[in-house]
C-alpha cells in the first residue's frame, strides 16, 4: 500500500511537471491576435475634400472610372473626388507646395477608400474567371494567388482616411513623370526599391516622389511606389464606410 501511494505521488508530480512545461512553451498571443476588432465608422466629420483643402493637385480617381484592375467603377465611389482626414489633407497640402517648388504637381489616383469598395475588391478576386484587366494590371500572376500574395485583403489602410496613392506631374513637359510602371500594377515592378530594368531616370523619379512625401510627414509602403500614409494618422484602428462624394463631407 505504501509503495502504491509513493508511485501515485510520483506520477502526479510528473504530470504536474509536464503540465508546467507545456504552459511555459505555449506561444504568447501575437499583437494581431490580442488586438481587439477594429472599429467601423460612418462618421465623416473629420474628413475634407482635397479639391477644397488642397486645390493645387490633379485628380484622376481611377476607381470612379473603369480603368482599374477590376474593369468597372468600384462600389462606394459616387463622384470622381478625393477625401482625406483633415490632418492628412493638411500634410498633403505641404507636400503639394514642396512639389510645386520643384516644378511638379501631385496627381492623385486614390485617397480615402470606403470599406464598401474593399468588399467589392474581395468579390472580384473570388471570381477567378473575370480576368478582363489582367493584361494591364497583373499579366505575370494568376488571379487565384492575389489573396495569398497580399494584393487583395479584407481591410485597407485607405479606409482609415489618411492614405493616398499618387504620382508626380511635370509642369514643364505637361506629363506624368515616368515611374517605370503603372499605378496598381501587381508585381515586383511596383516595389519602391525595385531596380531591375528601370532606367536611372525612372529610379530618380520614384525617389523624387518618395522624398517629397517623407519630408512632409508620410511613410511609404514597401510594395507600392505610389502609396503613402500619414505617419501620425489620427485613426489607426478605425475603418470608415461612407461614400466617396463631396456630399459626404459637405453634410458635416
> Residue 59 and residue 152: Cα distance in Å, rounded?
24
- Long-range contacts: 33-42, Cβ < 8 Å, 24+? 35/237, 38/155, 38/237, 38/238, 38/239, 39/237, 39/238, 39/239, 40/115, 40/238, 40/239, 40/240, 40/241, 41/238, 41/239, 41/240, 41/241, 42/240, 42/241, 42/242
CA distances from 4 to 1, 7, 15, 59 (A): 5, 5, 17, 84
**List 87, 176, 224, 233, catalytic entry:** 224
Compute the radius of gyration of the chain from its Cα atoms. Answer: 24
Asked about 224 being catalytic, the answer comes back as: yes
Task: Give me the active site residues, please.
Answer: 224
Amino acid at each position: 500500500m505504501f509503495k502504491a501511494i509513493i508511485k501515485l505521488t510520483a506520477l502526479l508530480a510528473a504530470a504536474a511537471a509536464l503540465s508546467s512545461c507545456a504552459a511555459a512553451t505555449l506561444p504568447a498571443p501575437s499583437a494581431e491576435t490580442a488586438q481587439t476588432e477594429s472599429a467601423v465608422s460612418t462618421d465623416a466629420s473629420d474628413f475634407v475634400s482635397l479639391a477644397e483643402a488642397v486645390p493645387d493637385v490633379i485628380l484622376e480617381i481611377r476607381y470612379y472610372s473603369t480603368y482599374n484592375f477590376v474593369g468597372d467603377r468600384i462600389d462606394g465611389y459616387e463622384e470622381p473626388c478625393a477625401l482625406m482626414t483633415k490632418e492628412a489633407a493638411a500634410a498633403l497640402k505641404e507636400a503639394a507646395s514642396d512639389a510645386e517648388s520643384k516644378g511638379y504637381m501631385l496627381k492623385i489616383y486614390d485617397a480615402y477608400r470606403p470599406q464598401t469598395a474593399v468588399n467589392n475588391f474581395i468579390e472580384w478576386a473570388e471570381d477567378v474567371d473575370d480576368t478582363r484587366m489582367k493584361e494591364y494590371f497583373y499579366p505575370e500572376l494568376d488571379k487565384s494567388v492575389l489573396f495569398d500574395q497580399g494584393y487583395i485583403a479584407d481591410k485597407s489602410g485607405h479606409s482609415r482616411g489618411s492614405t493616398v496613392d499618387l504620382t508626380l506631374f511635370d509642369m514643364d513637359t505637361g506629363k506624368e513623370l515616368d515611374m517605370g510602371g503603372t499605378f496598381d500594377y501587381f508585381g515586383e515592378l511596383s516595389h519602391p526599391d525595385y531596380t531591375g530594368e528601370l532606367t536611372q531616370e525612372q529610379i530618380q523619379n520614384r525617389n523624387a516622389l518618395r522624398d517629397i512625401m517623407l519630408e512632409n510627414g508620410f511613410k511609404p509602403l514597401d510594395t507600392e511606389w505610389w502609396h503613402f500614409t500619414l505617419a501620425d494618422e489620427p485613426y489607426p484602428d478605425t475603418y470608415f464606410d461612407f461614400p466617396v462624394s463631396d456630399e459626404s463631407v459637405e453634410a458635416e
